Structure formats: structure tokens, C-alpha cells
Amino acid sequence: MSSKKSVRRRALMTILLAGGMLGGGPGAFSAPKAGAVSKSQLELVNKIVVNQNISLELRAYYLIQIARSALQGVDAGALEKQYRPYAAVGAYNLFSRRKEAFNNSLSAVARQLSLEAHSRKEDKQGDKKGNSALAEIVLKEALPLLETSDNPFARLNLYFMASYLLRKTGNEIESEYCQKKVDDAIKGCESDFSHHANQLEGVVSILDSMAYGYVPVQVSDWKSPSSAGAGKQTKNYGEKNFAEAEKLKLRALALGACPFNLLVVRAG
């Protein structure tokens, strides 16, 4: 995703805002996706994108959260009220001194979306009440921020989230683009660890989130198939799901970073 493409996209947003094409009045632009995109929503998104008082990763995180809320059908007014503080000039990086808290938040959201992706109730085009038009615009604005991020843990988790949410909007091309970023990082660590060591923690986190999608239990409660008490887990989540989750856990273990204790990675 080139910076030139990002500039062109923001220029288009500016033109649409100036011309009132995304407003709700007569002659307004009719978006092909579900839901209307208001001028105030676009202004909010643009202000977050360019707000250099907060990190690239945190800006992308807030944009992805906006997209997620839009797809869930969160009221436009409530959505704008919740995220407006991060568009303000005086906003600051809330996680600048709390990397652990930010990483935990990223992992938690990634696990939740992984579980949702495996749910039978998933609607790949988004909920009928959701605003997929806004979600897609926001997600496209988040991608260029990730391109220049130098935080591999945050970048991989955010690509993982964006891939799923873009798929829900119906944008398979950019969903696959994000998923390839994740897959390449995993393959890199598994095939040539010495040249991808800086991505290890992020890869282990992603593998753990993928496993959680199959069997949603806390890692501290995980039991291998041969362990006492594993029968109940297998019965609750299905043998096939349990087997897939176990494969993912073992792949993380094979990298020398147990998903039950990421301190091993950080100490290295």
C-alpha cells in the first residue's frame, strides 16, 4: 500500500467533503455499501489519520475500532463521541508508557475477532444494521499507517484485525493483502527464524489468537488432548476445532516461544 495511494485517497475525501457528495441531502452520493457516511464522520477519520501526537500504531488501532463499531451498528453519534478525543490536537499517546497494556489490548481484540470469524453466526458482508461503507473507508485509511510502522507486534495484530473486518465489508482484495502480511511473517519465522526474530512475539500472539478462534479458552486453562480434564474441552468445542487449535499452539511452541508465557520471548 503506497504512500501515494494514501495521499490520493485523502485528496478524494477532501473533494467529497467540499462538494457535499457524502452528505445526506438532495443529490447526495449513493454509496454502494450499506450505510451512509457523513461529513462529520469523514472529518473525524481524517483528523485521527493525521494526528501526529499519537503513534502510527495507535492511530491505526483507533481507526480499526471505529470500523468494528460501524460494522456492529453502533449509533453514529455515540461513535463520534467516543473517538473524537483522539482526533483533537491536544490528544496524546495513551499507551506511550504502557506498552504492555497496549499489547494486551491488541491481543484481546485479535482473539475476539478470531472467535467471531469462526462463529456460525458470522455475516461476511457485515450485519444488516452495520455501516460497511464507513468501515471500509476507515480501514483503507489505517493500512498506510501500518506500512510505515516499526512495531512488528502491533503491526501484525492490526493487519490480522483489518483482514477480517475488510472481508466483512466485502473487500476481498485488501483483506487478502492484509492476510498475506500476516502469513508471510509466520512463514518467515518458521522457515528462517534468525532473520525474523524481531517478529517472533507478534507471530506467537497471532497463532495464539488463531487457536482461540477454534477453542475459546484462556491460555492458562488450556489442556492438551492427553491431559486430565481435556475430554470436557473437546466435547464442548468439538474434536475438529480442538485439533486445529492444538496444531496452532504446537506451531507456536516449535518457535521456542510458549504461548502460555510470552515473557520467554521478551526476555530474548
> Which is higher by pLDDT, 135 or 92?
135
Q: Is the pLDDT of residue 165 over 80?
A: yes
> Higher-confidence residue: 127 or 158?
158
- Please give the pLDDT value at position 191: 87
Lowest average pLDDT, out of 156-160, 174-178, 262-266, goes to: 262-266
CA separation for the pair 142, 171 (Å, rounded): 14
Tell me if 247 sits within 8 A of 225, measured CB to CB.
no
**Average pLDDT score over residue span 114-130:** 67
Say what the pLDDT of residue 129 is.
61
Q: What is the pLDDT of residues 208-221, one digit of tens each?
A: 999 999 988 644 44
Distance, in Å, from the CA atom of 210 to the CA atom of 222, rounded to the nearest integer, reads 14
Number of domains in the chain: 1
Q: Rounded to two decimals, what is the model's pTM?
A: 0.77
Average pLDDT of the chain?
77
Angle at 126 between CA 82 and CA 187, to 5 degrees: 95
Residue-level pLDDT at 60: 96
Residue 180: pLDDT band (50, 70, 90) is very high
Asked whether the predicted pLDDT for residue 89 surpasses 90, the reply is no
Average pLDDT for 68-72? 94
Q: State whether residue 34 is helix, strand or coil.
A: coil
Confidence (pLDDT) at 100: 83
CB environment 37-67: b (16+ within 10 A), e (fewer):
bbeebbebbbbbbebeebbbbbbbbbbbbbb
Is 217 in contact with 232 (CB distance < 8 Å)? no
What mean pLDDT comes out for the span 114-140?
Answer: 77
For residue 50, what are the contacts with CB-CB under 8 A and spacing of at least 6?
none
Could you tell me the residue range of the domain that residue 132 belongs to? Answer: 3-92+100-267
Summarised one tens digit per residue, pLDDT across range 33-64 is 556 788 999 999 999 999 988 889 999 999 99
Q: Which residue in this structure is represented by grid cell 468445542?
A: 237
